[in-house]
Every structure is written in C-alpha cells, then in structure tokens.
Structure 1
Amino acid sequence: MGSSVETLEFQAETRQLLRLVIHSIYSNKDIFLRELISNASDALDKLRLESLTDPGLTEVDTADLHISLETDKDARTLTVRDNGIGMSRDDLVELIGTIAKSGTAGLMEKIRQSKDAATAESLIGQFGVGFYSAFMVADKVTVRTRRAGTDTDTGTQWESDGEGSYTVQTVDGLPVGTAVTLHLKPADSEDDLADYLSESKIRQIVKQYSDFIRWPIRMAGERTGEDGSAEAGADTLNSMKALWARPRAEVTQDEYNEFYKQISHDWLDPAETIHMRAEGTFEYEALLFLPSQAPFDLFSQDTKRGVQLYVKRVFIMDDCEALMPNYLRFVKGVVDAHDLSLNISREILQHDRQIRGVRRRLVKKVLGAIKNMQANDAERYTKFWAQFGRVLKEGLIEDTDNTEALLELVSAASTHDPEKTTTLREYVGRMKDGQEAIYYLTGETRATVENSPHMEALAAKGYEVLILTDPVDEVWADRVPAFDGHPLRSIAKGQVDLDEPAEGDRSAEQARRDEEYAALLPWLTTTLSEHVKEVRLSSRLTTSAACIVGDTHDMTPTLEKMYRAMGQQLPAVKRILELNPGHPLVTALRTAHQANADDPALAEVAEIVYGSALLAEGGDLPDPARFTRLLTDRLTRSL
C-alpha cells in the first residue's frame, strides 16, 4: 500500500533552472542519458563503498551491481534503473526538489553570460544538476527508489512535470536502488523523440558517452544466442574497460577524450593527457587530464579537487585531496592503487607515507607536462596559462618543494612587449648589463601599472618591468626570494637608484640636494605624519612630482586590504612619500617654505601633493571631500 500523495513546490531558483534546461541550455539532447547513467553509476559506487564499512549493509547483494535501460514504445517511456545505494524520502527532496547547494545563482549568471551553446552546455555538469536534463525529452519524470539498509521493501516515489511542483509518496514493493522513468514528450511536439526508444540509438549514446563506466549497462530485450537464435536476456552495452589499466599504446586519443568528458562533464577535449604506471614497492596507475578551459567555480570556496581514488579498480572516493595539492585542483583523472586497504579513510590517507609519495610524483608529472607544453607549443601554452596561471601561482605560496619548477612556468605581462607575455627565463635573457634584480610592479590593471609614477625612471632608462595584476601576485612575488639567482624586486618598495655616475660625482650631487631640501623634508614629514612615516627625495621619478613607496619589507596596501577583507586585524602601515627634486611644483614648494615656513597655505599644498601621489597609484584618499575642496580652492586662487 502507498501513502497519500504530498505535493511540494520547487524552489524559485529550481523552476528558473528547469526552464533554462528545457529551452536554452542543451543543443544536443543525447546528453540526458549520459547524465542519468552517470548518476546511476555514482549510486553503485556508493553502495559498494558503504557496504565495506557499514554493518547494516552486509546483507545487500553487491555481486551483480548494474545499470538497466528499459524501453516501452507503446507507453513512450525510457527507464534508467540501478540497484545501487538508493535514496530516502529526505534524500529525494533535498537532492532533486532543491538545488540551493549547487550554487544556482552562479549557474544562472554564467548561462546568461555564455556566448555559445557549447559553453552553456558545459555548465550543467559543473553544478551537479544533470538530472534536470531529463525534462528536455520528457514531459513527466517518475523516480522510484529505496535506500539500501532499510528493513522493509517500502520506498519513495517522486514525480514531476518540470513545471512548478512535484509529488512525493511512499510506495511498497520496491527493490533497493533507483529507477528513473522518462515519459517522452508526444510525437506532435517540437520534434519526435521516439529515437530514444530505439535500441540502436541507445547503444550509440552509451558507446559515445558511457563506455568506460565500470558497471555493466544492460539493455533489456532480445539477444542472439550462441546458435544464432533469439533469446530473452539483456546485452551489456559498455566495454567496462579500465582505460588507465590498458597500455598507453593501445589507447587512442579519442578514447582518452571521451573518458575525460565522462569524468569531468566537460564538453571540450583536454589540453593534455598524462597516463602513467608506477611499479615497485607501491604499484599504481594514474590517468590524469589538464582541462582546456577553467571551470567557472575554480576559485570558489567549495571547489573540489578532481582526482578519483580507486583501489584494485574499486572506487573509493571522489575529489581525493590527499593526491593533489589545492593549486592543482583543476586536474581531473583517476589514480588506481594496488596496495591500499579498500576501506581506507580520508584521515588515514592524509598521513599515509605511500600516498604522500604518490602525490609528489603526480605533482612532478603534472608540472612536467605543463613545462613540455610551454616548450613545444607556445600558442597552446599561452591559452592554458590564461585559464590556469592564476591558480598555478598559488603553488608558489603553498608548495616550497616545487618553487623552481613553478617559477619556470610563470608567464607575465611586461613592458617589453604590450602584446605578449614573458617567462622569467626570457626576462633574465634580456636583462641589461649589470642588472641584478628582476623588477616588477603590482596593480589592479595593466593601465594602472604602466601609468604609475614608479615606472618613470625605469622606463626612461630602458629597464624591463613585469606587470603583475592578479591578486595572488601580491603574495607570491613578495615571498619568492629569487629566480635563477636574481632577486625579485618591487619598484614600489625600498630605494631604487638606477644612476651610475662616478662615486665622487654622486656624493657631490647628493650633498647639494640634501642641503637644498634640508628644511623642507622634515617639515613635510611632521605636517603629513598622520599619513606617512617619512618624506624623502626620489631617484625613481622623472615627470611626476611625487610618489608613495613602501619600505623594503612593508606589506603592500593591496595585500593589507586583502587581509582585512578576510577579517584579520592589522596595524595601519604608514608609507614613504618621495619627491621629485626637479619638478616645478616641488621646487616651488621648497622656495615658498624657505620664504615663509609658517604660511598655513603650505600645509594645504602638502596635502594636495600627498593626495595626488595616492591617486596616481590607484589608492583611496583618506578624506576625498577635503582633498576636493583644497584642490578647488587652490585652482580658484590661481585663476
């Protein structure tokens, strides 16, 4: 006996997503079957895994785990059935009735921004909502399921037409597992979907998208016996071959590409394939892929790593954090270890010496593959770095063991060529005679950096400067001491002296300048003490009146903002105001101060000089209204 039917409403976001799935996202409707088979495979994996550790599942039959595809041409239904872990009523409502945990708002925005169908199609799998693709071909979907480990044969039925609501009811007589039945849209709709009831069509879709699923995918119906006669039964449609266990020479790139798409839900081919086998005291196979395009949630807090762990071809876990560092979270693939316990936990993995050894080797293989791409295909590498360079640079902060390898990969904009990026190795090859440091400047945009006063002297003397505009650049460039023996030096910090006059000439020039500004500099330091810790003369300016710099070991303003945004309390860092002794404004200020040091207007000019220098580097004025008033009054008096 079943219970009364309960009608529930979809979340508003779910209704919006359903409309997009049905009308906008997929141009290739075949994908619905891949998504449903993938979900069924996950259910089988979970049952196998939980049966190893949950005493309540010891009676569950795991000897014949499989996926069945059943068609009824008269009723126009297609059913995808599995005998996996199944779902409870609460599971159904949480996983299907709502998708809040999947980041719906972000998905909707990405779909709206997508310029082509292929991009839009790739988004569904990334949010884990592929179940909804069933409504592209069905005007009603029925899910009947029973959770493994329950004492009775009572399960739950979920049903919806994909509009505003769904029904849930308790039903008796259900086997363990899940059956998803699609009631195909009628033939007089936009296009006839009867092909999806055809065995040949179903075989073609399974071969294309699900051939490497490790569980049998069976098609109910007639099959040919050994004597050529027709007999009842079910054919297995997929090869179930563990691609990673086959010799590389026997696998085609097309097979690699399809396997990658199956495990990643990506529509694009991978940028690189890494197939390796380790033998000896600890044996394992690994099949890893570098994507061509970064997933939209690469920098989301909830992003998971994409490497699956198997033991002797038995699935253990998705997103195995122990196998891949966070900065390589975009790597997809499979690692199949031969000598681990099947019921190994995440906590044990983190401390397992052999797993740490596997991780070190995998990281070196991945970085080596990226290096080979850089060396052999510059155009492909440029595209890859544009997608993943920002996250790879996180490794310069996290992974000190591979700092040198990661530095070799860094590709950055520079003043050498506005159209191309450069590697650090290329930069060093172009360094001027006698130049020791690799100069760089961080900022929000290339335009901001190029127009910074800090650039003036270096540009005038032909020194190349790296232009670093990713937020992570603020951290790694400050922490990495050197590349190939050359220190990395921010031109916005410390002293920058590019002049090379004779020692006696330098001393005489310095002494003359010090004498001319002996009174002005300490007065300015006192007047602006609320904002700066020192005012000094600059050797880095050629056209601007002033700039603001940090001490060699000071935190940059951008980094300070980042830490504050993360809730860290930091003391205010006062910086240094540098003046261009040859600028007319600075010399006029010096002359006015010599004439009347007590003139209150001089303090206002000092504030304007400081505020202008702050604006020139893209900083925030402490009191914009006051600065505007001072500047307006000054301009008015000059007219």
Structure 2
Amino acid sequence: MSERKKFQAESERLLDLMINSIYTHKEIFLRELISNASDAIDKYYLYALEHGQTPQDLAIRIDLDQENRTLTLTDNGIGMTKEELEENLGTIAKSGSLAFKEQLKKQEEAQNDVDIIGQFGVGFYSAFMVSDEVTVISRSVESDQAWKWVSDGTEGYTLDPAKKEGHGTTIILKLKADDDLDSYSQYLDSYQIQDLVKKYSDYIRYPIQMEVEIQKRVEGDENNETPSYESAKELRTLNSMVPLWKRNKADITQEDFDRFYQDHFYDFQKPLEKIFFSVEGSVSFTSLLYIPARRPENFYSRQYKPGLQLYSRGVLIENNCESLLPDYLRFVKGLVDSQDLSLNISREMLQHDHQLRVIKNRIEKKVLGELSSMLKKDPEKYEGFWKNFGLDLKFGLYNSMGQDKDKLQDLLMFYTSNDGKLESLADFVKSLPEEAKEIYYVSGTNPAAMAKLPTVVKLKSKNIPVLFLTDEIDEFVLQTLGTYEDHAFKNAQQGDLNLDSDEEKEALKNQNEENKDLLEFMKEALPEVSEVRLSNRLVDDPVMLVAGDGMSFEMERMFTLMAQQSGEEPVPGMKAQRILEINPNNKIWTTLRADYSTDKEKVKAIAQVLYDQACMIEGFPIADPVEYARKVTALLAE
C-alpha cells in the first residue's frame, strides 16, 4: 500500500500560492515542463560525456489522450532516484537545476556547452494549474529501479516503485474538467499544443515530438483519378531547435532574415532594414531587430502592442517587452536573447531592472546609428522610413524636453521651399545664405500651398529658404530644439522678419504714420484684429495675417484641437494675436486710400473681405461665408 507523504514546505498555503498566484497565464505550464525536460537532457548529455558515452536520440515527446483527458510528456534525460524525487518534487522551491548550475560554475567549458533554465524549482508545480492529478515516473541513469510520484497538489504525495524502460522521466497530467472560466480541453488539441510549443519552446535544443493525425493516400491507389485517403499517425518534430540568431552569420542569407521577419511578425512585406548584433559584457545578449517597410495596422491605437520578444537561453519569456525600447522606437520589431537575465520565480519578469536598462541603451544606440547611416548612404530609403515613422522621432524629442536632442536632431526631416521635398536639417542649413542667423519656418498641411504663402514668396525673393512644418507637433519640436548649428528657429508669420534696409524701414514707418487714420478705421471695422498695418513682408499678395508676440497660429490650432478631443471648451485667452498686414504696393491699397474720404462704408466692406481672405490663406475658417460671398459680389458689381 502506498504511503502518503507531506510536502516539506511550510504549509499547504504556500503550494496554493505556487500554483495559483505566480503565473499569469495557465498555458505557461507546458513551457515550464518542456524547459525542465530540456534541463534533464542537458544533465544526461554532460553525464554521458564524462562517462565516455555518446548520447543519441535525445528528445522530448508529448502524447495526448482525449478519452482519458491526459497529457503526457516524456524525456530521456538523466532521470531521478527515489531520494531525488523526494528532494526535488517533495520540497517546494528545491531545484536540482540550480545545484547543477552551481557545479558548472567550476567547469567553465561545460557551462558554455550546456544551458540550464530551471533555477527555482517551482516550474513543475505549474502543472497543477491545469491538472487534478500529476504523476511522475522517473528512472535515474545510475539505477535500474524506477519510481512513481503521484500528487493532487494539496497536502502531499505518494511514492512507489515502478517499471520504466530506460532512463528519463515521464510526467502524466490528468487535466481538469472545463468550467465557465477556463477550457482545459484545449490542451488535448494537437494544434493548440503545436502552437504553444512554437510560441514558447521553439528553440529548445532537443526535438519536441508528437504524433499528429494526417491524411495519407491509400497504397495501390496511384492510378485512381479520384484518390482515396485514410487517417494515419505521423511522429512530427514541433520545434525549430536552432534559433536563426544562434546560427553562424555566414550561413544565414538575406532571404532567411526576411522570411523569419514575415513569419514571426506577420507582415506580408519584407522589412525595410535588418539589424543583427551581439554584445558581450556585464549583460551579454544577441539581438535581431527589424524596421518595417510600412506602418503596422492600428499603429496609433491601443490595439497595437509595441516591444520586443525577450528570450532567455532560447525560451520565450515575454512576447512584447516594452522595457527594451524607448517609446519613440516603438515601431522596431524583433527579439533579444540573453543568458544573463535574472528572472523572477515565474520566469515571466526580471528581478533586476538594470539589466533591461543596459540592453535598452545598447539597442537604442544601435538603432539610431543604423538610421543615421541610412540617412547618409541611402536618403531615398530613409525618406520611406521617415514618412512612416518620423512622427515618432519628433514626439520622442519633444517628450524628452530636449534631453534626447543630440540623439535625434540630425535624424529629423522637413519639407522645404528649396524643392518641396523632404530634407534633413543638416542639408537645409547648407542652403542658407552665409550671413543667415535664423532658420525661418511656416506651418500648414500642404507644402505646395505653403510655397505660395506671401511670407514664403517674400523670403524666396531674398534667396532665403523656408522650412515647411506639416505636423501639428512640429513647432513644439523646434521650440524644444531652440537652435540648430547656432541658427535660431523663427516663425516667418510672426513678428518682424528684419529683412529690410534701414532706408526701407524708415519709408515704411512714414507710410504707416501718414495713413494712421485709415488704418485705425480699418481696425475698428475688424474687432478680431489687434492691429492693421502696412508691411514690406508682401510681394504680390494684397494682404496677410500674422501673429503677434507670444502664441503662434499653429499653437492656437493645437490647443483648440486638444480641447475638442477632450470634449472641453477652448481655454479663454488661448488665441494668437491677429495682425492684418496690407501690401502698400498692391492696387487694393490705392483703392482704399481713394475711397476713404468719399465712401467709408465701402472701405469697411473691403477691410472685412480682406480679413476673411487673410484668414483663408492662413487656413482659418471664416465666421460667415454667406456674408463674405455677398460682400464680394456687391464690390464686384460696383
């Protein structure tokens, strides 16, 4: 009769904690059992070498029995004696792998050849998350006697002699019945098991095998136009075993890298760029990264999950580890595999954040270096990247309050008045006149339309190029930068451009003074503006709207949009000061001066039409389109 023994842990409550609280997902149990089996085979492999043997046919096997609701996992590893079963399974958090790893510290050569994953001795107990009863049959490589360990995961276990061919361990899980919260029957589905192996244990170094059902053509039926098939079983290896990133670089083709990306990250396009590197140091790791050729679906929604896959010795620890990337590189896909990670008890998180910070810093530096190289060596390729993910780099610079300025400023691109194409700040500065002290910019949405803005036309007449800011965040980014190569950024639609000679400035001042009454009258007709003045800023256009000191028009739009998105009213006073500038060389100014003394109502109507036109040029909606149309028609009819 079997003798029931108590667990040697503090209490039943501790076991309950191990089973129900440590792991986030129940499916993790398969990863843990496979990792333990791999450890056992590693130990046997070393044992065989030390005893002059040649290990052969090392493998892990999974068998499913839907009728009896059992999942069986078998390895031909080192196996356990009765005493080892009691010590390793009867004592919670007692791990033979940890002791074995300590021994390997004294054998550096062996340590390099063998990876030991299990360190805490609790992974085995994850089996009770899905099982009513767990049976372990094990035979040590140094014994002819096998032992059977059985427990329902409550107070204790039984341990009895058993029969088993060859060394190794067999674990039989009697799966729980399905309930309203969980379906345990899914772990009897061969497709689900294949998916879990692929997800968590694809790179275990030994074959993970399982019999799968296939449709096989009936023998002797080759000449039949309508062949018949019969169900058959086939033993299939479920895992890849050798990760792509652990193969010799010389043996990996670009097609291999591209296919890996498309298969693992579900993209029908090849990646724009691949970054493959290894780091040796306090935290050693290998990283395989990809920059997608297109923006992923839902990229700017909550459905998108950024982060890299994190592996420890080929075992998947986290599928989307956000701690490995700064937010502004969230578009990067790929993985990191390290043998130096200090995992917590469930192998789902790290115990030491500094390890992740070290890896993150190296990855950030590497990716930025590759982007910088791409910009210099293949500008066309970089432009494709920028159109997809440039906004993220802008937000990264702005959100860091300028701390990442040196990292990111040379990677920024903007449309410009030079040729209407995207251009880096470094290239743009090269096009500035030698005496230029400022970088002028204007804001809008369409570069072609922005090139026609009155202030841009004026600057181009002076051979001064202009940056076109097409994203709402752009002006905030430039304010965060402050300067670039000692050139301050200046809004060309705000304040004085300071482009005129002293004589031109004096002449304009006199014109404004001479027409003071007319300009004041127009201002009174336009309560929205703070000033109406003559300006040399205009070349051919009759009128334009400029912002006073302080808030710019783009900032006003940004704050208005933020209020709309939050469902709130715009904050009072969060509007740019409006200044209407008139071109003194345009015929409309001659008309205004002529009519001022004879028909002030007409001057008032012209002023209101000019203001509405200036608003439209600037991209603001006009208050009353119907009234505007009537006034224009009336003026044309005169």
Structure 1 partner of 2:321:
320
Structure 2 partner of 1:626:
627
Query: Structure 1, residues 94-134: CA drift from partner, whole Å, max 9, x if none?
Result: xxxxxxxxxxxxxxxxxxxxxxxxxxxxxxxxxxxxxxxxx
Matched, 1:563 2:565: no
Structure 2 partner of 1:53:
23
Counterpart among 587, 591, 604 of residue 590 in structure 2? 587
Q: 1:601 to 1:459 in 2, by over 3 A?
A: same
Q: 1:417 to 1:495 in 2, by over 3 A?
A: same
The aligned amino acid for 2:525 is T
State which structure, 1 or 2, has the greater radius of gyration over its C-alpha atoms. 2
Q: 1:257 to 1:430 in 2, by over 3 A?
A: same
Q: Tell me if structure 1 keeps the 8 A contact 2:375–2:411.
A: yes
The aligned amino acid for 2:203 is R
Structure 2 partner of 1:470:
471
Structure 2 partner of 1:64:
34
Q: 1:468 to 1:180 in 2, by over 3 A?
A: same
SS of the aligned residue for 2:440 comes to strand
SS of the aligned residue for 2:271 comes to coil
Structure 2 partner of 1:240:
241
CA distance in 2, matches of 1:624, 1:349: 62
The aligned amino acid for 2:240 is S
The aligned amino acid for 1:542 is V
Matched, 1:578 2:581: yes
SS of the aligned residue for 1:241 comes to coil
CA distance in 1, matches of 2:237, 2:525: 84
CA distance in 2, matches of 1:549, 1:313: 61
Structure 2 partner of 1:522:
520
How do residues 464-543 of structure 1 correspond to structure 2 at under 5 angstroms? 464-499=465-500, 501=501, 503=502, 505-506=503-504, 508-529=506-527, 531-543=528-540
Q: 1:170 to 1:576 in 2, by over 3 A?
A: closer
Query: Structure 1, residues 436-485: CA drift from partner, whole Å, max 9, x if none?
Result: 22222221212321222222211222221222323332432343212111
Structure 1 partner of 2:542:
545
SS of the aligned residue for 2:530 comes to strand
Matched, 1:220 2:220: no
Structure 1 partner of 2:411:
409
Q: Tell me if structure 1 keeps the 8 A contact 2:508–2:535.
A: no
Q: CA shift at 1:301, angstroms?
A: 3.8
Q: CA shift at 1:237, angstroms?
A: 5.5
SS of the aligned residue for 1:466 comes to strand
Q: CA shift at 1:392, angstroms?
A: 2.6
SS of the aligned residue for 1:297 comes to coil
Q: CA shift at 1:49, angstroms?
A: 12
Structure 1 partner of 2:152:
none
CA distance in 2, matches of 1:350, 1:552: 52
SS of the aligned residue for 2:382 comes to helix
Q: CA shift at 1:620, angstroms?
A: 0.5
Structure 2 partner of 1:122:
none
Matched, 1:365 2:366: yes
CA RMSD of aligned residues (A): 4.3
Q: CA shift at 1:212, angstroms?
A: 9.3
Q: Tell me if structure 2 keeps the 8 A contact 1:212–1:243.
A: no
Structure 1 residue runs without a partner (length 5+): 1-47, 71-80, 84-145, 158-167, 182-201, 203-208, 223-231
Q: CA shift at 1:55, angstroms?
A: 11
Q: 1:490 to 1:69 in 2, by over 3 A?
A: farther
Q: 1:581 to 1:147 in 2, by over 3 A?
A: farther
Structure 2 partner of 1:302:
303
Q: CA shift at 1:169, angstroms?
A: 14
Q: CA shift at 1:243, angstroms?
A: 3.3
TM-score of the aligned structures, taking structure 1 as reference length: 0.64
SS of the aligned residue for 2:370 comes to helix
Q: 1:633 to 1:407 in 2, by over 3 A?
A: same
Q: Tell me if structure 1 keeps the 8 A contact 2:201–2:314.
A: no
Query: Structure 1, residues 306-331: CA drift from partner, whole Å, max 9, x if none?
Result: 41223343322222222212221110
Q: CA shift at 1:247, angstroms?
A: 5.7
SS of the aligned residue for 1:53 comes to coil
Query: Structure 1, residues 14-60: CA drift from partner, whole Å, max 9, x if none?
Result: xxxxxxxxxxxxxxxxxxxxxxxxxxxxxxxxxx9999536999987
SS of the aligned residue for 2:372 comes to helix
Q: CA shift at 1:353, angstroms?
A: 3.6
CA distance in 2, matches of 1:546, 1:59: 73
CA distance in 2, matches of 1:608, 1:373: 50
Q: CA shift at 1:377, angstroms?
A: 1.9
Please identify, of 467-476 and 608-617, the stretch whose mean Cα deviation from structure 2 is larger.
467-476
How do residues 4-23 of structure 1 correspond to structure 2 at under 5 angstroms? none
Q: 1:61 to 1:246 in 2, by over 3 A?
A: closer
Please identify, of 235-244 and 545-554, the stretch whose mean Cα deviation from structure 2 is larger.
235-244
Please identify, of 604-613 and 270-279, the stretch whose mean Cα deviation from structure 2 is larger.
270-279
Query: Structure 1, residues 277-336: CA drift from partner, whole Å, max 9, x if none?
Result: 333333333221111222132222432214122334332222222221222111001123
CA distance in 2, matches of 1:153, 1:485: 70
Number of aligned residue pairs: 469
Structure 2 partner of 1:126:
none
The aligned amino acid for 1:330 is F
Q: CA shift at 1:494, angstroms?
A: 2.1
Q: Tell me if structure 2 keeps the 8 A contact 1:82–1:177.
A: no
Q: CA shift at 1:608, angstroms?
A: 0.8
Q: 1:385 to 1:519 in 2, by over 3 A?
A: same
CA distance in 2, matches of 1:49, 1:495: 71
Structure 2 partner of 1:442:
443
Q: CA shift at 1:622, angstroms?
A: 1.6
How do residues 604-619 of structure 1 correspond to structure 2 at under 5 angstroms? 604-619=605-620
State, as a whole percentage, how many aligned pairs show the same letter. 31
The aligned amino acid for 2:519 is L
CA distance in 1, matches of 2:295, 2:492: 32
SS of the aligned residue for 2:516 comes to coil
Q: Tell me if structure 1 keeps the 8 A contact 2:508–2:534.
A: no
CA distance in 2, matches of 1:235, 1:257: 26
Query: Structure 1, residues 343-390: CA drift from partner, whole Å, max 9, x if none?
Result: 389998799344234323222211110111111223322222232223
The aligned amino acid for 2:32 is T
Structure 2 partner of 1:229:
none
How do residues 67-466 of structure 1 correspond to structure 2 at under 5 angstroms? 148-149=129-130, 151=132, 153=175, 174=185, 176=187, 178-180=189-191, 213-214=202-203, 218=209, 220=211, 234-236=235-237, 238-246=239-247, 248-249=249-250, 251-343=252-344, 352-399=353-400, 400-418=402-420, 420-466=421-467
Structure 2 partner of 1:10:
none
Q: Tell me if structure 2 keeps the 8 A contact 1:546–1:613.
A: yes
CA distance in 1, matches of 2:381, 2:331: 17
Q: CA shift at 1:549, angstroms?
A: 1.5
Q: 1:488 to 1:350 in 2, by over 3 A?
A: farther
CA distance in 1, matches of 2:176, 2:378: 59
CA distance in 1, matches of 2:540, 2:602: 24
Q: Tell me if structure 1 keeps the 8 A contact 2:439–2:466.
A: yes
The aligned amino acid for 1:582 is N
Structure 2 residue runs without a partner (length 5+): 1-17, 38-59, 64-70, 74-126, 133-173, 214-232
